[in-house]
Amino acid sequence: MSEIMITLPDGSERQLPEGSTGADLAASIGPRLAKDAVVVEVGGAPRDLSAPLSDGDAVRIVTMKDPDALEHLRHSTAHVLAQAVLELWPGATFAGGPPIEDGFYYDFELPEGATFSDGDLEAITARMKEIVAANQPFIRGEVSVSEALEIFADHPYKQVFIQAADGDEVAGGGTISFYRNTDSFVDLCRGPHVPSTSKLGHFALMRVAGAYFRGDEKNPMLQRIYGTAWASKGDLEAHLNRLVEAAKRDHRKLGAELDLFSFPEEIGSGLPVFHPKGGIVRRLMEDYSRRRHEEAGYEFVYSPHITKAALFETSGHLDWFADGMFPPMQLDHDHCGEPTEYYLKPMNCPFHILIFRSRQRSYRELPLRMFEFGTVYRYEKSGVVHGLTRVRGLTQDDAHIFTTKEQMGDELESILTFVFDLLRDYGLDDFYLELSTKPEGKAVGTDEEWSEATEALRLAAESMDIELVMDEGGGAFYGPKISVQARDAIGRTWQMSTIQVDFQLPQKFELSYIGNDGDRHRPIMIHRALFGSVERFFGVLVEHYAGAFPTWLAPIQVKVLPVADAHDDYAHEVAAQLKGSGVRVEVIAADETLGNRIRRAKGEKVPYVLVVGDDDVAHRTVGVNPRGGDVERNVPVGGFIERLSDDVGRHG
């Protein structure tokens, strides 16, 4: 029998008999590896362990401990979910079931329009555990389109996938792939999968939701079951604990409890209003950002909320972003009776371009940094609107920097440094960077321009000495971008700032500046949103701090509680001193027990509660009850003000 040579990740080679599989390769290295193996990657592409290898293949064995294994564990668990549902509900049919971040889902249609209840999840879980315990193998098969249509004759949604012959459901090239666990259960899938169901088991079904087939509201509404799956029991328990903590921190819940913001039905979905306390926090966020931008050489501009359609036709937004815009308003009929179309703006950048173009610019003005808290409007589908983190009316802390090509690299590094410094000032300090490249088929400009812009961003990102990951095809239609990803207090990742290099819009708007050679040159445009949006950043901070804002951001910094009515005048005197020092303070009258008032103030997450009684009146002191600290007695008012001022100054 002839031999094949396999190259391992460390560069070493291993000789195996022809026809050997990934499982054979793992077994040849050692029994522990064979036991832990999940899939193999051949030339970077994942494959089943049962797939035969070829001479010269470069192979990496993915084990249960490898983060890449989670996608395959979750995908395989989704198949087990589908098998359980089809066995428990005869006549049910199924659509798609991909792995997603932290888990998986599967879409179903039950017979006679039935729906799942949360109570059904317990029965489904029990059946899934039986399937896992049965150690059923995932056996791959490939057939023609006509054969696949016959296999899935009773499942119309699978037939749609087969006829479309695209996505994750097919092998490609006209061949349809499927996986069979038993004689009675087969699922359409590109794969790969774990070798058998015994590799699974650390999962939980989370909830039931409705979902349109293929995300299109014109299609039937299906029943979606979400689940989570992990490599070990400990990982699963840790994730479930994180979800409990995340629920406590949900900014929608805390926003109502702390009286920060609301979403009145009369206004519409995704359109928040900020209450006085939320307004204080937002103003403080914005004011500090404004000051830092002024210090960094940004110039403030303002632009209207609506514009004629022609502006977004020139910019290309109507070609590439129309689905995300509100429908036009038809106004200002001309002499022929034809209306002019106006749009609510989804972006600020074309307005800043017109400001740049309003007069001839010189190289001496560059880099020109424009900044605006600009409110924009985007028509998000109702199913994706989520609290403050996904809204339809949002205010971007939007900057556009016009620079020469020679200045571009230094400016990008300066922007990233500024972004990290400012985010740290708001209490976020755990980051990584994501570089999004050209979206094929959805972009304007030459490959050379995209390559140059992408390389400039890559070099700037690498200079930060922060983890950089690639997001192939994730750029905007006009240029690549860097996204700053921040981890919050419980380890969740949020996309924060974005920085985009744009060669295209300066061309579309025919921008130019006079260089030191006296000739006209085209500037480079850098788009930069630091918060992403004020609303989203507000929501992230609420969850990061669990509503307990640091003293400098807290809407009420101090509450003064007189022990009894006799101490009320002194309590107001203390409050007046604090207000005179710029402190946001309230007095809570002694109309109920002191204990109840302290508990209420703590529930409102006020940084400092001051209690004043007979001794304090006599000695001009206060009792200090700090959030998360020990109670102190007989603290001079002046000393407390100094301490509070220091706390605010260091953004505590």
Pairing of strands 99-100, 621-626: unpaired
Marked catalytic residue, from 75, 282, 369, 481: 481
Could you tell me which residues are beta bridge partners of residue 37?
A: 63
Residue whose pair of structure tokens reads 């808290």 in the numeric block:
373
Catalytic (active site) residue 527: yes
SS3 category, 225: strand
Q: Could you tell me which of 499, 494, 526 has the C-alpha nearest to residue 426?
A: 494
Q: How far apart are the C-alpha atoms of 346 and 322, rounded to whole Å?
A: 9
Marked catalytic residue, from 223, 396, 407, 500: 396
Marked catalytic residue, from 74, 202, 378, 567: 378
Catalytic (active site) residue 189: no
Whether omega for the bond prior to residue 31 falls within 30 degrees of 0, making it cis, is: no
The greatest distance separating any two alpha carbons of the chain, rounded to the nearest whole angstrom, comes to: 100
Marked catalytic residue, from 36, 48, 107, 398: 398
Phi, psi of 567 (to 5 degrees): -100, 5
SS3 category, 565: helix
* Kind and range of the H or E run holding 396: strand 393-403
* Kind and range of the H or E run holding 245: helix 233-249
Residue 333 buriedness (CB in 10 A; 0-12 / 13-18 / 19+): exposed
Catalytic (active site) residue 398: yes
Q: Could you tell me which of 412, 448, 403, 447 has the C-alpha nearest to residue 433?
A: 412
Whether omega for the bond prior to residue 367 falls within 30 degrees of 0, making it cis, is: yes
Say if residues 85 and 108 touch (Cβ distance below 8 Å). yes
Say if residues 94 and 157 touch (Cβ distance below 8 Å). yes
**Could you tell me how far CA 20 lies from the centroid of its own chain?**
42
Catalytic (active site) residue 481: yes
Catalytic (active site) residue 223: no
Pairing of strands 368-377, 299-300: parallel
Residues 6+ apart with CB under 8 A from 129: 201
Q: Could you tell me which of 250, 273, 278, 253 has the C-alpha nearest to residue 263?
A: 273
CA angle (16, 19, 21) in 5-degree steps: 75
Catalytic (active site) residue 400: yes
Listed in order, strand segments (DSSP E) in 299-380 are 299-300, 306-308, 329-331, 340-344, 361-362, 368-377
Say if residues 466 and 432 touch (Cβ distance below 8 Å). yes
Say if residues 75 and 99 touch (Cβ distance below 8 Å). yes
CA 194, 195, 199, 203 dihedral sign is: positive
Which residues are known to be catalytic?
349, 378, 396, 398, 400, 481, 527
